[in-house]
Every structure is written in structure tokens, then in C-alpha cells.
Amino acid sequence: MVEKTVEILRAIGNLNKARIIAHLAKHRGETAESIGKHLGYPLPTVYKYLRELEAVNAVESEARGNTRVYFAGEFKLEVSPQKLMEAFEEQTMMELYKARFGAEGVEKLRKVAAKAKAGKMTFRQAAASLGITYFEFVSLLDEVGALDA
């Protein structure tokens, strides 16, 4: 349940995505073009947001002929300091990294971390090569004890 809350929060991510959900709750069965027109968003942005929202079931769609129609999904999002604490206490940085990049990403992290510790690249270069921030990289190294002397 906590994992689902985090997924929905990550997918909604900004007020524009929340506006799409609210719009679909009011106007059931809208095309992406119609959503873009009503909300004033560019069509590529609407499609991107709809894909992200559909991935966590915050939005659902169905094909009607050659057209795809979107609806607000059925979900309940409970956010409180307690729920956020539970969500982030349960997930370590490594678990979050693995969920984001998979087993291949973890293997790449291991190799890049070894290069960084050996002085073959800076920590900032290592983080950039992995597609994460410097802070995330250092936090991952700290969590697995790779920063210990």
C-alpha cells in the first residue's frame, strides 16, 4: 500500500498532471487532443503525462475505433506526515535505485563505484554516468559502506 502511494505521488509529480486527473473526473471519456485543448497543454506533453499517469492506474484508457479515450482511474491517495515517514523508512536508497534501474543498473552502479573509489573517475562523473545526482550516488555508497576507509 505504501509503495502504491509513492508511485502515485511520483506519477502526479506536478499540478498539471493533477489538473488532468481532475479534468477527467469531471469530463469522462476525453481524447488527448480534447484534454490539451481544454487545459491549454501541448499535445506531446499531454501524451507524456497520460502515459505516466496510466502506468500507476491514476488514469485509464480504452480504444474506441481509431481513437483512445481517457478516464480518471479509481484510486485513493492518503498523504500525511506519518504515511510519508512509513513510505520512506521502508525503502532504502538501494531499494529505490534498484526499483528505478533494475538489476542491470545495480551491476552498473557496482562497476562505476569501483572506478570512482579507484580514482579513475570523480564521484560527480560517476553519478552523471549513472543518470543520478551526486547526492544520490554518495548516499548509495554510504548506505552500502563503500565510503568507509
Query: What are 53-75's pLDDT values in tens digits?
Result: 998 888 999 999 999 999 998 87
Residue in the structure block whose three cell numbers are 562523473: 125
Residues 6 and 65 reside in one and the same domain: yes
- The neighbouring-strand residues paired with 61 are 70
How confident is the model over 114-122, as a mean pLDDT? 92
What is the domain extent for residue 32?
Answer: 2-72
Q: Residue 83 falls within a domain, yes or no?
A: no
pLDDT of 126 reads: 92
Under the banding of pLDDT at 50, 70 and 90, the label for residue 148 is: low
Please say whether the beta carbons of 123 and 137 come within 8 A. yes
Give per-residue pLDDT as tens, 64-117: 999 999 999 887 777 778 777 776 666 678 888 888 888 898 899 999 999 998
pLDDT for 149 beyond 60: no
pLDDT confidence bin for 139, thresholds 50/70/90: confident
| Residue 38: CATH number of its domain | 1.10.10.10
**Count of domains for the chain:** 2
The verdict on residue 82 lying in a domain is: no
The DSSP code sequence of 124-139 is HHHHHHHTS-HHHHHH
Looking at the fold, whether 28 and 57 belong to one and the same domain comes out as yes
Cα distances from 39 to residues 47, 50, 132, in angstroms, run 13, 13, 32
Q: What is the pLDDT of residue 23?
A: 93
Q: Which of 104, 98, 90, 87 is nearest to 140 (CA)?
A: 98
Q: Are residues 100 and 136 in the same domain?
A: yes
| C-alpha to C-alpha distances, 107 to 91, 113, 121, 142, nearest whole angstrom | 19, 10, 17, 17
Question: 117 with 59, same domain?
Answer: no
pTM: 0.54
The answer to whether position 80 is within a domain reads no
CA 75, 79, 81 angle in degrees (round to 5)? 160
Write down the pLDDT at residue 57.
87
**pLDDT tens figures, 12-52:** 778 899 899 999 999 888 999 999 999 999 999 999 999 98
User: Could you give the angle at the alpha carbon of 55 between the alpha carbons of 143 and 126, nearest 5°?
Assistant: 30
pLDDT in tens, 1-10: 556 676 777 7
